[in-house]
Amino acid sequence: MLTKSQASKHVAGEAMEFTQERADDVVIVKLAGRLDSGAARSAEDGFNAVLAGGTPRLAVDMSGLDYISSAGLRVLLVMAKKVQQAKGKVALYGLVPNVREVFAVSGFDTIFSIQPDSAAALAAVR
């Protein structure tokens, strides 16, 4: 069962969208645009709001994310540490080639569970 629980957060001057919906016990976070230093605070606030709701099970859809900077990687790393501390699970999916390359070069592809599609990501966090 898929329910929409929050509309896009659009802050003037930021070229990133953070939306979330729920698929039963999993929160699906969709990132779109550019996750850089200008959008990092907004993304971090969004993840903190999601993580405030108990043991987190997150699937992060990055298919709409065109660009990620080191500030964006830091946001994801902080989120992953909080998920781990809360005994939850997180999986990323839909990485476009240039974002996938950033993950490979930075070694983040060994830190995160990166799945090929939403079904695999949902299965990985359940």
Domains and CATH numbers, the chain: 2-125 (3.30.750.24)
> pTM value?
0.89
- Confidence (pLDDT) at 19: 96
Q: Alpha-carbon distance 12 to 87, whole Å?
A: 35
40 Cβ contact partners less than 8 Å away, ≥ 6 residues apart: 71, 72, 74, 75
Question: What are the tens digits of pLDDT across the range 14-67?
Answer: 579 999 999 999 999 999 999 999 999 999 999 999 999 777 999 999 999 999
Two tokens at 108? 């983040």
